[in-house]
């Protein structure tokens, strides 16, 4: 990797002008460490362009000099792909414009630095829904969620980010602007460049704006917390809820009791969501276009499941405060692990029908590999995606435990592979998993990805340490 020379830095400063860059270590510092404190990088300069034209000038200059660039949005990525190690850091956070909102097309075009939460708010102001939702939505940006093909809690009904993008504008690695901001639902004109850029983790260019799909606002919504004996019951309940509502299940999130205990112990303003303390919980959200239908459907589904012994407890949120409390214990699952000393993190997916078997098998293997290790599995079980985290035994040697992360991950990921699953369901590969993915991807896949990258970025200046 070529770091920028003093001349290149001077040229970048003059191209972007005052306000378009900073070298102030205090200003840059918060953008060098990622959320879990696993990586702390360094950069000689952070660029903060305010327009696509400024991004194009900066990337063009870096391309001329063969200087590497790391694009960064909200710095909430969980695999370290946004952290620079000597590269130029290009922050998109000042690309803030709402270019258009067109309700008749069910579409809106936002610049890359708009946060996910703001995107949802812009859609709501136009009487529409932008459905992507995740716990980091107050900071994660549109450019970031596209570049990681983020998932979140509503994938079951609306799909991942890849399904929610109609068009993209991006600055390619040579500084040219790709203007693909279309509002079309149909466009069969050969390879789809925007789909290549989605999930590319900043390796094929800098996304500067995107046209996103909007949806009708649902007329009814019901949220429930359910207690179960096993994840096998959860999968049976999911199938019933999907069939009963005709596709009205928006979220179906599984949590283990130990994760609930961490939340109750470490996160202020949280309380037991149920009267009992079951081994597993599911947070279900149903929606419908018909007023009252989601609530009625939830009551019917849970009453039948309770009668048949499929579930052992349930509470339906009676108001927005209760709904928010249910979501809080789900969204804080990850943060609540920190005071317990952190652990080996996994973001895996297997076919939905196999997730309970996977959980049984992986937990047996982990307990054999590291006796006493605590498994705190939670996540988007409705789409087969679990955050399968393994924590140090209480009072154990945390440093020694964390040193076994990669070895422990191999145990978990080898089992994922036998289920024809994925070792990164929604977070991407980044710095964390690029090397490990070589174990599980075919050489055909790896070589094809590398060839595409060479064609688009022959100097490999875009996020060089990430992907193949």
Ligand X SMILES: Cc1cc2nc3c(=O)[nH]c(=O)nc-3n(C[C@H](O)[C@H](O)[C@H](O)COP(=O)(O)OP(=O)(O)OC[C@H]3O[C@@H](n4cnc5c(N)ncnc54)[C@H](O)[C@@H]3O)c2cc1C
What b-and-e string marks burial along 398-425, b requiring 16 or more CB atoms within 10 Å of the CB? eeebeebbeebbebbbebbeebebbbbb
Residue of 45, 58, 67, 134 interacting with ligand X (CB under 6 A): 134
* Token pair 């949806």: residue: 215
* Token pair 């860059």: residue: 21
The least CB distance from residue 378 to ligand X, in Å, is: 11
Distance CA(139)–CA(121), nearest Å, equals 14
Residue of 73, 175, 227, 248 interacting with ligand X (CB under 6 A): 73
75 binds ligand X (CB under 6 A): yes
345 binds ligand X (CB under 6 A): no
Nearer to ligand X by C-beta: 46 or 293?
A: 46
150 binds ligand X (CB under 6 A): yes
Distance CA(356)–CA(65), nearest Å, equals 52
Tokens, residue 303: 């009453």
376 binds ligand X (CB under 6 A): no
Site size for ligand X (CB under 6 A): 37
Residues 151-180 binding ligand X (CB under 6 A) are: 151-152
Distance CA(142)–CA(114), nearest Å, equals 6
* H or E element, residue 144: helix 142-147
201 binds ligand X (CB under 6 A): yes
70 binds ligand X (CB under 6 A): yes
Nearer to ligand X by C-beta: 37 or 442?
A: 37
Nearer to ligand X by C-beta: 43 or 75?
A: 75
**DSSP notation for 406-447:** HHHHHHHHHHHHHTT-BSBSSS--HHHHHHHHHHHS-HHHHH
Contacting range for ligand X; rule: CB under 6 A; set: 38-46, 60-68, 198-206, 319-327: 198-206
Which alpha helices (H) appear in 275-354, and where do they start and end?
Answer: 293-307, 320-331
35 binds ligand X (CB under 6 A): yes
Question: Which residue from 189, 273, 262 is spatially nearest to 226, judged by alpha carbons?
Answer: 273
Contacting range for ligand X; rule: CB under 6 A; set: 10-18, 132-140, 393-401, 445-453: 132-140
207 binds ligand X (CB under 6 A): yes
Contacting range for ligand X; rule: CB under 6 A; set: 10-18, 122-130, 423-431, 432-440: 423-431
Nearer to ligand X by C-beta: 16 or 207?
A: 207
* Token pair 């080898």: residue: 414
Count the Cβ atoms, other than its own, within 10 Å of residue 217: 14
Residues found near ligand X in the complex (CB under 6 A): 35, 70-78, 81-82, 92, 112, 134-136, 140-141, 143-145, 147-148, 150-152, 201-202, 206-207, 334, 426-427, 430, 463, 466
């Amino acid at each position: 990797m070529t770091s920028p020379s003093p001349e290149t830095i001077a040229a970048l400063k003059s191209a972007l002008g005052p306000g378009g860059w900073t070298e102030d270590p205090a200003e840059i510092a918060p953008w060098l460490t990622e959320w879990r404190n696993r990586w702390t990088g360094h950069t000689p300069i952070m660029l903060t362009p305010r327009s696509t034209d400024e991004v194009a000038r900066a990337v063009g200059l870096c391309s001329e000099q063969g200087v590497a660039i790391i694009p960064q949005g909200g710095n909430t990525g969980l695999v370290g792909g946004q952290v620079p190690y000597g590269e130029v850091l290009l922050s998109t956070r000042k690309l803030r414009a709402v270019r258009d909102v067109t309700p008749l097309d069910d579409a809106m075009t936002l610049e890359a630095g708009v946060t996910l939460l703001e995107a949802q708010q812009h859609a709501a102001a136009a009487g529409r829904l932008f459905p992507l939702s995740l716990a980091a939505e107050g900071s994660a940006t549109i450019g970031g969620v596209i570049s990681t093909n983020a998932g979140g809690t509503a994938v079951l009904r609306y799909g991942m980010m890849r399904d929610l993008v109609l068009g993209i504008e991006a600055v390619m690695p040579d500084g040219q602007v790709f203007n693909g901001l279309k509002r079309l639902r149909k466009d069969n004109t050969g390879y789809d460049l925007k789909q290549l850029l989605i999930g590319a983790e900043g390796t094929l260019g800098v996304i500067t704006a995107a046209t996103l799909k909007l949806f009708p606002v649902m007329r009814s919504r019901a949220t429930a917390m359910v207690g179960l004996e096993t994840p096998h019951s959860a999968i049976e309940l999911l199938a019933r809820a999907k069939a009963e509502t005709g596709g009205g299940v928006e979220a179906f999130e599984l949590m283990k009791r130990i994760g609930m205990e961490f939340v109750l112990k470490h996160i202020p303003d949280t309380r037991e969501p149920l009267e009992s303390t079951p081994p597993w919980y599911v947070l279900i959200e149903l929606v419908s276009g018909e007023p009252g239908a989601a609530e009625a459907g939830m009551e019917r589904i849970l009453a039948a499941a309770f009668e048949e012994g499929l579930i052992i407890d349930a509470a339906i949120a009676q108001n927005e405060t209760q709904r928010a409390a249910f979501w809080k214990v789900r969204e804080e699952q990850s943060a609540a692990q920190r005071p317990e000393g952190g652990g080996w993190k996994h973001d895996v997916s297997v076919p939905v029908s196999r997730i309970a078997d996977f959980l049984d098998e992986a937990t047996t293997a982990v307990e054999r590999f590291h006796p006493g290790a605590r498994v705190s599995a939670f996540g988007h079980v409705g789409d087969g995606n679990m955050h399968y985290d393994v924590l140090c035994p209480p009072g154990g040697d945390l440093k020694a435990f964390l040193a076994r992360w990669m070895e422990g991950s191999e145990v978990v990921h080898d089992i994922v592979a036998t289920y024809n699953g994925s070792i990164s369901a929604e977070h991407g590969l980044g710095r964390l998993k690029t090397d490990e993915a070589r174990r599980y991807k075919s050489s055909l896949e790896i070589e094809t990805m590398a060839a595409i990258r060479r064609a688009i970025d022959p100097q490999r200046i875009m996020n060089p340490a990430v992907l193949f």
